[in-house]
Amino acid sequence: MPKESFFKNRIRSIGYALKGMFLLLRTEASIKIQFFIALVMTAAGFYFEISATEWILQLFAIGLVMGIEGVNTAIEKLADYVQPDHDPKIGLIKDISAGAVMIVSIVASIIGLVIYIPKLM
């Protein structure tokens, strides 16, 4: 069987990534909430005419929160697959993964406050 070209392989990889992104948005409540918040913050950015630097920080924060949430979801699904029964060690892994989402969410919120509080005063 001939080896698939690099280009075809990349296109296929992008397809898998898009499938995963849409699966997350369609099935996971937490990412739906974060996506809604991202839309609100994007609208706020246009309304308040934030600077290019503020856009970069805001988009980075949104992407980081949603990306880490996706990784958290993958870790939880994998943990449930490996050990469907309650297991304290699996629970610890899931808690740590959720904690990572919490850390980036707090930092993203602080970035939002730094950007928008001066515009509200």
81 within domain boundaries:
yes
Q: Which residue in 90, 92, 93, 98 sits closest to 72, CA to CA?
A: 98
Q: Which residue in 97, 111, 16, 95 sits closest to 63, CA to CA?
A: 111
CATH of the domain at 80: 1.10.287.3610
16 within domain boundaries:
no
The pLDDT tens digits of the residues spanning 86-106 come to: 999 999 999 999 999 999 999
As given in the structure block, the two tokens for residue 116 are: 């928008």
What residue numbers bound the domain in which 43 lies? Answer: 29-120
5 confidence band (pLDDT: 50, 70, 90): confident
Tell me the mean pLDDT in the region 56-62.
97
pLDDT on residue 31: 93
Specify the number of domains making up the chain: 1
- Which residue's entry shows tokens 């898998």? 16
Q: Name every residue whose Cβ is closer than 8 Å to that of residue 32 and which is 6 or more positions away in sequence.
A: 25
pLDDT on residue 1: 62
Tell me the mean pLDDT in the region 25-42.
94
